[in-house]
Structure 1
Amino acid sequence: MGQKRPKIKLTVIDRRGKMGCHRGHRIGQTFDYDTERGELCPMAMHCAFPYIDILRYGGKLPGQPEGVAEFCCSDADTIMVFRAEVVKEEENRP
């Protein structure tokens, strides 16, 4: 049996564009990638997927802590900044 993929939490951490998010995302919102990704803006999900894949399969991004990837949505007017992070196993337990 293969190794279980880690959970990924997405958090809105900043906005750098001059307009608010067209989807209504706000700084501080968090999402469970597996159960709540349908609530995320499709433009943000398009940008998030490669980073989530890297984290899920044990990769590390240069200049970022292990288990973390920060990225922006592709909307130049909004530029919402997200953090994707691996949820440690002990955080998964009830």
Structure 2
Amino acid sequence: MNRGKRPKIKLTITDRIGKMGCHRGHKVGDSFDYDTERGQICPMAMHCAFPYIDILRYGGKLPGQPEGVAEFCCSDADVVLVFKAEIVEE
């Protein structure tokens, strides 16, 4: 990883576990560039995403997950969207 530049991160919604649809209108298959489109992502999901993005950007790895990938859920118990954050190689 290039230490002078932070890697790009893509967030993709991969599943929905909760019973309700997303209050922001997000759906499975939606994808966002973290640096340029994060303002479009629900603030509850972003609150959950930030620690995982930090781990990926600074060279960390999550147990049981592939290198450069972090899966997590939003915190809305009615919706529970599953997100995949992944490093995008340039």
TM above 0.5, one fold?
A: yes
Tell me the equivalent position of 1:18. Answer: 19
> 1-side partners of 2:45 and 2:69: how far apart?
16
Query: What is the Cα deviation at residue 50 of structure 1?
Result: 0.0
> 1-side partners of 2:57 and 2:4: how far apart?
11
Number of residue pairs matched by the alignment: 88
> 1-side partners of 2:34 and 2:8: how far apart?
7
Larger Rg: 1
Tell me the equivalent position of 2:60. Answer: 59
Structure 1: which 4+ aligned runs deviate by more than 3 Å?
none
3-state SS in 2 of match to 1:69: strand
Q: Which runs of 5+ in 1 are unaligned?
A: 90-94
> 2-side partners of 1:88 and 1:36: how far apart?
18
Identity fraction in percent: 81
Normalising by structure 2, we get a TM-score of 0.96
3-state SS in 1 of match to 2:85: strand
3-state SS in 2 of match to 1:74: coil
Structure 1 residues 31-74: Cα deviation after superposition (integer angstroms, max 9, x where no partner): 00000000000000000000000000000000000000000000
Query: What is the Cα deviation at residue 3 of structure 1?
Result: 1.3
Letter in 1 for 2:64: G
> 2-side partners of 1:88 and 1:79: how far apart?
28
Tell me the equivalent position of 1:92. Answer: none
Letter in 2 for 1:78: V
The residue correspondences of 1:10-49 to structure 2 (distance < 5 A) are 10-49=11-50
> 2-side partners of 1:75 and 1:59: how far apart?
26
Tell me the equivalent position of 2:82. Answer: 81
> 1-side partners of 2:36 and 2:50: how far apart?
15
> 2-side partners of 1:30 and 1:78: how far apart?
17
